[in-house]
Amino acid sequence: MSEAGAQAAPDRIMHVSDVHFGVENPAAMDAFAASVEELQPDAVICTGDITQRAFHGQWDAARKWFAAFDAPVMVMPGNHDMPYGNLLERFRDPYKRFGSLEDAVGREISLRHAVIVPLDTNVTAQWRWPWSDGVIKQRKLDATLERLGELADDPRMKIVACHHPLLPATDDRKNPTIRGDMAFAALARAGANAVMSGHVHVPFDLTRSREGHAMRMIGAGTLSRRLRGAEPSWNLVTITPDRIAVEPQYPLEQMTELETTR
Ligand SMILES: [Fe+2]
Ligand SMILES: [Fe+2]
């Protein structure tokens, strides 16, 4: 492809989330890996809950799965990715068990038409139980806002990646993410076009607004057996200079279609 052609080609991101090694769906995981090989995406982004319990064996399996992808990988930690049984480790070095995957944690992804900037919404402890829901820490939000500020004159799309959705599914519900409303407004004000997340195990693609600022919310489902109303899925995100298109992919349904058309 010529240089001009490469510039014009859309970016393709495979957005996956909540793979939950330990309770993963092997058929869905294999189908996803086959799609990475077939589609050769510009990036694979996993928005957290990589393991079920952050056990060493689960991390070993996760590292092996991601290492097979011939694409830049960015992972964001989820609430299931910090050890619960070893509190000393949880507080001192919560992401130690990522091992070689630690390099991909919060790694910014720079593409032709988009920049993906991380925001960590996990906390090692909080004043409520369970510790699974998100909390926006000012220090972490400031780092993301600072990066968006640096990118203010960059014409590319700015997408923030985190684990917990910043807003509830509908505005009449209580927001489980503490300070999520404030973070949503601040990110939108700073020029973010979209925020991609996981955690709820159901895909969604919505435009929401807070304090007069609108932003897209893109959620990926799960490739695990922890289903909450939707079959295993991942999102194909295609980005051109003026559009972000999101297409949920259901690998098990696609396999069934293939089998029945044979
Ligand atoms: Fe999850
Ligand atoms: Fe989660």
Q: For 118-155, what is each residue's pLDDT tens digit? A: 999 997 877 777 778 899 999 999 999 999 999 999 99
The full set of domain ranges for the chain reads 3-261
Listed range (1-10, 101-110, 204-213) with the worst mean pLDDT: 1-10
Supply the pLDDT for residue 91: 79
Mean pLDDT of the chain: 92
Ligand 2 centroid to 84 CA: how many Å?
Answer: 14
Alpha-carbon distance of 95 to 101, in angstroms, equals: 10
Looking up tokens 């014409």 gives 155
Average pLDDT, integer, range 213-237? 96
Ligand 1 centroid to 226 CA: how many Å?
Answer: 8
What are the distances in angstroms from CA 56 to CA 60, 79, 96, 254?
Answer: 6, 16, 11, 32
Ligand 2 centroid to 222 CA: how many Å?
Answer: 10
Q: Is the pLDDT of residue 69 over 80?
A: yes
Ligand 1 centroid to 161 CA: how many Å?
Answer: 15
Neighbours of ion ligand 1 (CB under 5 A): 18, 49
Q: Is the pLDDT of residue 31 over 70?
A: yes
Looking up tokens 């297409």 gives 247
Ligand 2 centroid to 37 CA: how many Å?
Answer: 27
| Closest-CA residue to 17 (of 167, 196, 187, 141) | 196
Q: Is the pLDDT of residue 162 over 90?
A: yes
Q: Tell me if residue 181 falls in helix, strand or coil.
A: helix
> Side-chain half-sphere of 250: how many Cα atoms within 13 Å?
11
Supply the pLDDT for residue 60: 95
Listed range (39-48, 82-91, 225-234) with the worst mean pLDDT: 82-91
Neighbours of ion ligand 2 (CB under 5 A): 49, 78-79, 199
Alpha-carbon distance of 7 to 122, in angstroms, equals: 36
Q: Tell me if residue 86 falls in helix, strand or coil.
A: coil
Average pLDDT, integer, range 54-66? 95
Tens digit of pLDDT for each residue in 117-127?
999 999 787 77
Is the domain spanning 3-261 CATH 3.60.21.10? The answer is yes
